[in-house]
Structure 1
């Protein structure tokens, strides 16, 4: 009788483990619907430029997105699972997994909708058209949009690596920002949207980086004119974040309204 009970218990446990394994496999196959952020935009603006995660850890949380590197060492473009650095000298490099990341926003991109025939005469024209697209789905969601396009001209910036003691980012952008204007570039725009109610976490509205097809030009987009753009949009409903563990962050004063400073550098 005892052996029979042990056999039944063993079968029951084996069944539970099988169900758990199947559920885990199904979860792995499901689209990831989360936005993963490293640190706060507000702490970054105050000068929190020390790395929080490695590039390798960041890639496990997403294959598409944008950000920067430790010490604000250039602009980050995450595309197709690769992490690119657009440096202040205008060059572009694939970054190793051990490089540190102080601020970034990434997702495992899942195409929820297509946007065809995208043309824009300037930055505001493009973001206005993107605003019209997301109104179809709800302005209070988060979105990542990838746009393949031809840029008759595009202006991007990058930033020189900072050394401690770190300056606030408004001062960094005023002193150590390098601006590049390119013509006749084909490439990809990575556009990330946060709704207004998340303005204490990230910048509300659109934040856009660019990487050309040759992978030798890119950066944070300041202005552009594009033709023949084709977009893919990921509508996102979940959010998670890694915060810094430094004493500087733990004691940082977040009472200041940073919205004007953020807008001034974006």
Structure 2
């Protein structure tokens, strides 16, 4: 037994010395900071895009200074700036808040030949979910008759509260466009940690348009859900200022 323990310890030391890092669990949502910290205006970076990409290939968030909307899809990290421009972000870019996972669809459904508004889409997703106490990662590839999105920022210190920053958001409406919705459904008990309910970001197929979804009407869609039973939160490396008065963030 002693020899086996020594062997295991030596292997761990060898992996560390050679620069190997443990693989991240595909059944875990990895999150940086909390929605309550973001609500309080903590917009300094807690992690880099480079590190974020090792933890998942699908997700969302924002960038340091509340600089636009983050969309993570197919392992790439995109930013939708306040003016609506989409860029691929470099490894050194910082993020104050994110949630990502490795996407493996557990539930799929196709919808065709009908017009579905946002409220009806949420009801459809409600029916597809097996459980109401676990996170679900969502990818919906579809054609949209209309979709309304927003983005905001960037800000410099002293940062405003998120509720004040969103009063200055830029809203854009796109018509007859195809793309993907990427995001999460989270149960209410996680509401101080992340946005409870549905939180979806949009990225067009031509990678030129996107943002946080405010409203939509889709005509065709392929829905995929990934039930993700575990969550890992990386808290900020710096002391975050507290939220001084009750607030909440309902994404949709």
Structure 1: gaps spanning 5 or more residues:
1-8
Aligned match of 2:199: 207
Cα distance, 1:173 vs. partner?
0.6
Distance 1:146 1:120, change over 3 A: farther
- SS of 1:127 mapped into structure 2: helix
Aligned match of 1:149: 142
| Cα displacement string for residues 154-187 of structure 1 (whole angstroms, at most 9, x for unaligned residues) | 0000102011100001111112x10100011111
Aligned match of 2:116: 121
Question: Which of 81, 106, 110 is the equivalent residue of 2:75?
Answer: 81
Aligned match of 1:131: 126
Distance 1:31 1:120 in 2: 37
Higher Cα Rg: structure 1 or 2? 1
Aligned match of 2:190: 198
Q: Is the 8 A contact 2:45 2:63 kept in 1?
A: yes
Aligned residues: 241
Distance 1:39 1:242, change over 3 A: same
1:183 equivalent to 2:170? Answer no
| Cα displacement string for residues 57-80 of structure 1 (whole angstroms, at most 9, x for unaligned residues) | 111111100000000111000000
**Structure 1 vs Structure 2 CA RMSD:** 2.4
1:104 equivalent to 2:98? Answer yes
Cα distance, 1:90 vs. partner?
1.3
| Cα displacement string for residues 91-141 of structure 1 (whole angstroms, at most 9, x for unaligned residues) | 10000000000011100111112122166532222112111111xx11101
Which has the larger share of helix? 1
| Cα displacement string for residues 223-243 of structure 1 (whole angstroms, at most 9, x for unaligned residues) | 000011001111011110111
Aligned match of 1:258: 247
Cα distance, 1:255 vs. partner?
6.8
Aligned match of 1:5: none
- SS of 2:148 mapped into structure 1: strand
| Cα displacement string for residues 195-240 of structure 1 (whole angstroms, at most 9, x for unaligned residues) | 1111121111000000010000000000000011001111011110
Distance 1:199 1:120, change over 3 A: farther
Distance 1:225 1:79, change over 3 A: same
Structure 1 window deviating more from structure 2 (123-132 vs 35-44): it is 123-132
Distance 1:164 1:15, change over 3 A: closer
